[in-house]
Structure 1
Amino acid sequence: MSRRQVLTLVPATGLLAVAAPARAATTGPVMTGPVMTGTAAAQAIDHARLLANSVAILAGTPEVNARPEVAGKLAAIAGTARQRLTAMDQAGDGELFAGLALGTDDVNLRLAYQYLYEIALATRAPGSALEGDAAAARRVADGLAWLHERYFGDQSAGYYGNWHNWEIGIPTHVSRTLALLPEELRGELTAPYIASMDAYLRNGKDGDVDLDSRFHTGANLADITANRILQGALTGDDARVNKAIADQSTVFATIDPYNLQHGNTDGYYADGSFIQHHSVAYTGSYGRALLTRVVQTLNMLQGVTSGSGDLPSVVYRWITDGFAPLIFEGWMMEIVKGRAVSRTASGYTDLNVVVEAIADLTEHVEDALPLKKYLKFLPAADTTAFVSPGSIARYAAVRADASIPAADLNPPARSVAFNAMDRTVHRRPGYAFALARSSERISKYEYMSGENLMPWFQGDGAYYLYLSGEDQGQVYGVDYYTTVSPYRLAGVTAPVEERRTVPELYGRLWYENPDHPLNFTSSSESQNTYVYFPRGENAFSGGATLGAYGVAGMVQSDDVAYTAKQQGLLPDDFVAYRNARATKSWFMFDDEIVVLAADVAGQGGRDVVTTVDSRIAAPGDAVTLTGERWDGRGWRPGGAATPLRWLRYANGTRRTSIGYVFLDRRPVAAGLETVTRSRRVVRTGNPDTAVTKNVFTATIAGEGELAYALVPNATEDALRRYARGPVSVLANNRHVQAVRHQKLGIIACNVFSKGPRQAGRLLVDGPASVIVRESGRRTSVALSDPTMKRDRVSVVVPGRPLRVAEADEGVTVRRVPGGTLVQATTRHAYGRTFTATLR
């Protein structure tokens, strides 16, 4: 059924079944989603079972908690609770816990509720040192009453700071704490707290979820509805539970960008992309939150309703198509973390909740073996970070089962175009390449709440090259953004200028001007559009894949804030920066990634620099740089920029290396620098911890065109062989960028301009991305529309006429003078690749 039908669900029925994935219409993406089954009558809910399930998820059961693998979690629960009780003993005036001043700080209030939850959890966890501690439970109940009376119940005094704390953060802790308390302690607290939580749901409607609200989408919607399910169970309110279940069911429907419901673009797309905040690629942060919440809901509702239908298989596809490509040897890639890239938690830590969700999902899907193999394949998780003791037991059982082999959900060679969120991932044994693009659809970056303070170029073709066997936390993560200049992120073309952060510009964490017609306040739509996550102005951002090979392209643009400022739409004191200009392509093969840039310009009289790569290493690592000039002479770092044929970066301590082959004679500057900075330069909430790294940077200054290849794990001998191929540049200008890989028999191109354009031997009707591979008597063709605006794209393959062996629906093939025309109907395909095999 369509998403329009999905969102007209009556209470309860939405969670009970999901349509099996169907082949898309000729011009549209694949869509799956919950469907209405049965009558419009809401179900009677077994509230006692729902509460018991919820408590078991959070606190465990006697059987689960008796397992030795859960002992560490139980010890952590008890230890944390003791710390919180001590903090209660030491609290001063206006505090429930020592060090948490209340009354004006919403974060402190949320933490106070979190601390009460942590004490309540220890009193209900079987086997915990504080299990059954009536005095501790009474202190929790008294604390809840005290907080409500002084800081939460008064609506006129509350709702300062971040809306998320009042509508999601605090209600999550309150709802769970009430569920954990004995009935005799929570009895008089439940009704006033639920009334207050409803009143604080100010971005909703009449104290409930509003699917038309821009705040009630994706992970936020899943959080709010999970809380309301639990609140309904506490009060025996069938209607509340049924409504919350139906509302949450909408997050399972694949977003159809051509038929948006309630204006919502947040959620999962047919190509595996996940978007939150309407335009931010966010699988690695909000996507994780949504994943864990919906799986917890499946666990909460076991035996409560008539079943979950096919919902687990939808979540299964999120993992295989959305998460797995973005996880490299246990590391969540930077390109899908939004402002979370500036947090001190690492990409390895990010995986804990994903692993927990996968372990829980194995209990719900028919064929759990691939998920169990993946759990064995991933590095061991920190189970003390799991929410549920039951998840620890399930995970431990899988890891200990010798009959389950370890296996990745990714094939060894994989190229994934997440065009719906302007991201690309290319994987091979030994490395993974991740690329962040932007467009008029997807934000250039996300800054918010003092996080990710210097994000300006993160969506301008910034890329990350992960090497096997490396501790990625020593190469990327928060220390990469701390020590590498924001103007020199790998892959970025940036103007030579100094920019100031939002706090430096305005003296606060956002731009404030409520008197302007656009009403700039901390969470207004104008703040989102122009400050927090501005989009680009370009339509061309996308690419095509052919088997395990890929091409991506982007026209680099200004963001909407700069354009609006030039048009006089923004206040005079609002600061907007002009971008550099560039047309870029990335061609992804087996041993190399070829990068082309054309029409590079600083604009406005500014110089411009393109960064080939920036990498960090520990100061004591044995890092060496070697290279060769075009005249055959050797090269060592130091001195002026020099035209290089190749350059090699090697970390002898970590036994890793990357080669850079330069396909034109532009001067290259490369060197090492020891950099020390505080992690607070990228996030106001980070500890003021000084980080020292050895930073390698290779750059090409100036306007015009440039071409080079990244060669992961390269030896010097391998780099020298590129003088004889196998890669050659066929075109590199603002109209066409094309390369040929002789060894693979591939010609790939991006055509940026309208009309027929020659790309090597190919004649392409642009704009389009095209890959053609000839292998014996077989010719394979892939086409996509990176603008997502064209009804069709086509390519003429020259030579003798070819006939169709197989082709995607929507692809036609016919003879034309001089060759074979392959045409794909791309209307409403949202950047999807169409393929055909010819003989």
Structure 2
Amino acid sequence: MATKASNTVAAALASASDTPLTPANFQRLRQRWKATVTGKHVRVNSDDVYYALSKLSGTAEQYIANMQPSRVHIWEDLSPIHLSVNFRKSYERLRTIAQSYSIPGSIHYHDLNVQETIIQSLDFISSEIYNASVVQAKGENWWNFRIGAPLALVDIAILLYDDLTPRRRHDIGATIIKNIGSIGQRSLKGANRADICLALIGAGVITNEEAEVSRGRWCLSDKEYDGENSIFELVESGEGLYEGGSYLSHEIFPYTGGYGVQHYYSLSKAVNVLSKSPYHINSTELQVTFAAINSTFSPVMWRGMMMGHIRGRDIARKSEPDAFWGNLFLQSLLYFADTELVPREHRIFFKSLARSIWEAAPLPDLYGLNITQAFGMQKVLEERIPPAAPPIGTFATPMSDRIMHHRPEWAAALAMSSSRIGRYEALNHENLRPWYQGDGFLYVYTDKDPLHFSNDYWPTMDPYHTPGVTNGQNPQDPPAYKFTAHRDWAGGLDWRGTHGLAGLDALSTDKGSSAKKSWFFLLNSIIALGAGCAGLSGTEVHTTYESRNLPISGSNFSINGDYQIMNPGWIKPWEETHEQVDWAYLDSFGGYVFLDKEPVSFKHEKRKGKWTDINQYPDYLGFSDPITREYLTIYRNHGIDPEDGRYAYALLPSASPDETRDFATIPPVNVTHNTPRLQAIQFNNTVMANFWSGGTIGYLTAVTPCSITWGYSGVEDKYLTISVSDPTQKATRVVLFLNDPDIGGVAEKDDSIQLRWGRAGETGSVTITVNVEGTHGKTHRVSFERISWRGTLESLPWRPPVKETATSTTTTASRRVRPAATKKPFANNATVMSTKAGHKPAPAKYKTSTISKTSIGAVKTVKSVKPSVGTAKPSVGTVKPSPGATKSSLRTRKSSLETITPEAATTSIVLKSTTYAASH
């Protein structure tokens, strides 16, 4: 890694001009910097620009009106000024006023009284506390001194550059340089490195000091340590971009939606400002940066917002909602797109992606664009650049223990933790109720209620009933900082890009509850299994299926089709346990199907809270108003200190009541195993399983623990494809044994996979050894030719060399007839749905099959494929009910078919034994 980074730095150094910066160069740098703060002023014809300018002017006017200068403060609520958080926030307010002073059309544009107010305030802060002689007091937050205050001060000085005396400019630059201090620390990585470098470049631009511009520029590349911590490269530890789509901060916390966005914002601003100077950053250095836009950032966005599972402690900040970080990422894209050194195709794609973020926002004023973003988007709209397609499919980022699953009308994000990744981040008195945020928290976003997590969710949610989590109900101690989970297993894989599998060996922080947990992400549903649910805390152990923050307008709810009383403004809460319940439906979400027919508890309540209940950092103490929200909670009570509790349920986001009832009546998914050793499901011709201790399903045996999915793939199911991963990231190899008479030679395989065939001259028996050492939980794949496919072995593409499959290339003298299929997938195995008579088929946009490879300029999307005639044949064990069939008769007839032996089935994927099956 260091060698590669060093080569990149050397190439960049070679391209830099030896010509010193001239006064004209510095003038150009200041002009470009000013444009990043105020936007490029063009004719205003956008509602977003009018709104942003009005909001900016109004906020600045309020700040000016509330000024109460004294010996200890400028604003009374930011007193005393000697506290770093107060002088930093004072600078940020002055920046807002300076923006309003500098933008034509603002009520403060070139107002001399406003100009004098800003300059006097700068002089006051400099004389009292923040100057080139200040020494950081013990206990103060270093970030305010080295990053927060400098970045705000640079913007102010450049906005008012012509109004400041040379002496004031010199003092401001000296103050920034002194407080930033040394930038040679190896620990300076990611967002913090980008921020500090940007501030240094700004200090040089203010004072015409080329040395500081140079120092900040080459610190981005970490020239001092040969690129070891270059923010242009992937990292292997600490803060920054990791292989496989992860962004970590503070070593162990997934933070794509917080520090990751800040990293890109500061870097993109530096790229934009320097683009016309000899210190420009060329596109060669930015290759990794641009690639991560697709692999790291797009998958964690939904409807223009950053998902909560990668925002760390930022979720506890009222003033920085998920849309705030989405807009900041949009601004980063616009900065990159406004840089001529960036290749044209990249610039067009960045504008296209920015437009998709802007258009996807559920409400235009959810968290309005700032003035720079508004001007940038006006330009994109004028250029008529179409929006980029949203991501569709499953995205696993094993280095951060996260899984994202995107569908056309909903999305899900799973937050796990392990011996590698922290459960939660609680720092600086922020995020004070985080206990189970990394224990299998399943975020589900739907178009039915797009503002669910933005509707004051975090201060009002029940931290002991977190969706997806199994935990004891005993009170937890105050949160600690920077520790990982107790166990290794957390991760999963994606299947053909459209489906996903995840598993978590959960043991709570206090070791009071544990469970083996699996999630299966399908096209129209999420299947959740749990086994070995146990407790030692002396309290009940609950698995929370749902804890939904209901819209202010209310939401209808039904159990087995019977609607409950849940009118808006109700007074009396209710809680009840149903012994026999098949399904439930919530208008603002979709459907819930209870696959094991065990007792389920429902609770409808009002919950009260304040943002200051979860955030006591001085920045956010103003958000102390009481809030009330309505919640529906669905959970399984495993009892007090259970030893082997279980659960099995399905979530059907955005489904209709009829679709939910049909799923419950004849589930299109068969739960084949749900034990602490093996959890697995089968649908169509696909099996997905977490082998916690190894085991056998049908023709396949896992000798070692692993996550695995296998099934038919390719046009008309030509191949049998196996995907496997090591979620523990501790194994050196995973060993599988496949004894399937339907497999022939190898179609393709990853280099990490070795095959050892069975008896000479025969196909169908193969030992698969996967080298997983050092692969950090990534997915490994191998595809075999299916002998029973229509055609001969010779007619199949990608024939393996004879030396590789010498024992697997024997062909029959005549054409081998494909066995009569008793089930065949919809649209090339892509649709999971019931075959019950009268079932409404999924819209065509759901019947998807082709995933495009992610690359610059192309987000991972799904291409609709029209199903071929005759592909919608019912699955094994499904019964087409007669028009008058009752639910009980359907169960009886379906149950009788579950006794069919594996030998009686004719599909290639045969379940050897069913240790756990859902009753239908």
Q: Say if 1:318 and 1:387 are closer, same or farther in 2 by CA, change over 3 A.
A: farther
Quote the Cα distance in structure 1 between the aligned partners of 2:704 and 2:408: 34
1:379 Cα deviation after fit: 4.3
* 2:623 maps to 1:692: no
Quote the Cα distance in structure 2 between the aligned partners of 1:465 and 1:67: 33
* 2:263 maps to 1:284: no
Q: Which residue of 2 aligns with 1:427?
A: 406
Q: Which residue of 1 aligns with 2:671?
A: 729
Q: Which moved more, 1:271-280 or 1:118-127?
A: 118-127
Q: 1:265 pairs with 224, 235, 238, which one?
A: 238
SS at match of 1:200: helix
Q: Say if 1:601 and 1:781 are closer, same or farther in 2 by CA, change over 3 A.
A: same
Q: Deviations over 1:453-494 (max 9, x none)?
A: 1000000001011112x3432x22363233331010101111
What is the one-letter code of the residue matched to 1:617? L
Q: Say if 1:114 and 1:407 are closer, same or farther in 2 by CA, change over 3 A.
A: closer
Cα contact 2:581–2:598 (8 A) shared by 1: no
Structure 1, unpaired ranges of 5+: 17-35, 202-206, 258-263, 503-530, 560-576, 629-633
Q: Deviations over 1:34-53 (max 9, x none)?
A: xx645997975733322221
Q: Deviations over 1:794-828 (max 9, x none)?
A: 32233124311122332333423662333332222
Quote the Cα distance in structure 2 between the aligned partners of 1:579 and 1:419: 26
Q: 2:490 pairs with 541, 564, 578, which one?
A: 541
Quote the Cα distance in structure 2 between the aligned partners of 1:644 and 1:228: 66
Q: 1:823 pairs with 763, 769, 773, which one?
A: 769
Q: 1:813 pairs with 729, 732, 755, which one?
A: 755
What is the one-letter code of the residue matched to 1:764? A
Q: Which residues of 2 match residues 274-423 of structure 1 at below 5 A?
A: 274-305=247-278, 306-344=280-318, 345-363=320-338, 364-367=342-345, 368-380=347-359, 386=369, 389=372, 391-402=373-384, 404-411=385-392, 414-423=393-402
What is the one-letter code of the residue matched to 2:245? G
SS at match of 2:458: helix
Q: Say if 1:448 and 1:330 are closer, same or farther in 2 by CA, change over 3 A.
A: same
1:626 Cα deviation after fit: 1.1
Q: 1:243 pairs with 192, 212, 215, which one?
A: 215
Q: Which residue of 2 aligns with 1:28?
A: none
Q: Which residue of 2 aligns with 1:485?
A: 462
Q: Which residue of 2 aligns with 1:627?
A: 560
What is the one-letter code of the residue matched to 2:535? G
Quote the Cα distance in structure 2 between the aligned partners of 1:70 and 1:674: 39
Cα contact 1:804–1:813 (8 A) shared by 2: no
What is the one-letter code of the residue matched to 1:457? Y
1:578 Cα deviation after fit: 3.5
1:211 Cα deviation after fit: 3.6
Q: Which residue of 2 aligns with 1:143?
A: 121
Q: Which moved more, 1:248-257 or 1:164-173?
A: 248-257
**TM-score after normalising by structure 1:** 0.81
Quote the Cα distance in structure 1 between the aligned partners of 2:575 and 2:124: 68
* 2:748 maps to 1:773: no
SS at match of 2:110: coil
Q: Say if 1:759 and 1:643 are closer, same or farther in 2 by CA, change over 3 A.
A: farther
Cα contact 2:8–2:284 (8 A) shared by 1: no
Q: Which residue of 2 aligns with 1:710?
A: 651
* 2:504 maps to 1:554: yes
Cα contact 1:281–1:421 (8 A) shared by 2: yes
Quote the Cα distance in structure 2 between the aligned partners of 1:434 and 1:604: 29
Quote the Cα distance in structure 2 between the aligned partners of 1:697 and 1:116: 45
Quote the Cα distance in structure 2 between the aligned partners of 1:197 and 1:60: 24
Q: Which residue of 2 aligns with 1:596?
A: 529
Q: Say if 1:425 and 1:593 are closer, same or farther in 2 by CA, change over 3 A.
A: same
What is the one-letter code of the residue matched to 1:751? F
SS at match of 1:152: coil
1:185 Cα deviation after fit: 1.9
SS at match of 1:48: helix
Cα contact 2:401–2:491 (8 A) shared by 1: yes
Q: Which residue of 2 aligns with 1:569?
A: none
Q: 1:764 pairs with 694, 702, 713, which one?
A: 702
1:248 Cα deviation after fit: 1.7
SS at match of 2:140: coil
1:184 Cα deviation after fit: 6.2
1:127 Cα deviation after fit: 4.5
1:125 Cα deviation after fit: 2.9
1:721 Cα deviation after fit: 4.1
Structure 2, unpaired ranges of 5+: 222-228, 566-573, 786-920
1:385 Cα deviation after fit: 5.3
1:309 Cα deviation after fit: 2.0
What is the one-letter code of the residue matched to 2:323? Y
Quote the Cα distance in structure 1 between the aligned partners of 2:183 and 2:688: 48
Q: Which residue of 1 aligns with 2:108?
A: 130
Q: Which moved more, 1:588-597 or 1:230-239?
A: 230-239
SS at match of 1:451: coil
1:610 Cα deviation after fit: 0.8
SS at match of 1:466: strand
What is the one-letter code of the residue matched to 1:406? P
Q: Say if 1:408 and 1:185 are closer, same or farther in 2 by CA, change over 3 A.
A: same
What is the one-letter code of the residue matched to 2:142? W
Q: Say if 1:366 and 1:310 are closer, same or farther in 2 by CA, change over 3 A.
A: farther
1:437 Cα deviation after fit: 0.3
Q: Deviations over 1:165-207 (max 9, x none)?
A: 1111111111222222235624213444444434433xxxxx2
Cα contact 1:670–1:696 (8 A) shared by 2: yes
1:712 Cα deviation after fit: 2.0
1:225 Cα deviation after fit: 0.7
Q: Which moved more, 1:597-606 or 1:107-116?
A: 597-606
* 2:204 maps to 1:232: yes
Q: Say if 1:103 and 1:122 are closer, same or farther in 2 by CA, change over 3 A.
A: closer
**TM-score after normalising by structure 2:** 0.75
Quote the Cα distance in structure 1 between the aligned partners of 2:138 and 2:666: 66
Q: How many residues align?
A: 738
Cα contact 2:557–2:564 (8 A) shared by 1: no
SS at match of 1:802: strand
Q: Which residue of 1 aligns with 2:591?
A: 658
Q: Which residue of 1 aligns with 2:728?
A: 787
SS at match of 1:319: helix
Quote the Cα distance in structure 2 between the aligned partners of 1:627 and 1:251: 57
Larger radius of gyration: 2
* 2:74 maps to 1:96: yes
Q: 1:586 pairs with 513, 519, 537, which one?
A: 519
1:81 Cα deviation after fit: 3.5
Q: Say if 1:329 and 1:342 are closer, same or farther in 2 by CA, change over 3 A.
A: same
What is the one-letter code of the residue matched to 1:772? W
Q: Which moved more, 1:288-297 or 1:56-65?
A: 56-65
What is the one-letter code of the residue matched to 1:725? P
Cα contact 1:330–1:351 (8 A) shared by 2: yes
SS at match of 1:612: strand
Cα contact 1:782–1:836 (8 A) shared by 2: yes
Q: 2:415 pairs with 433, 436, 446, which one?
A: 436
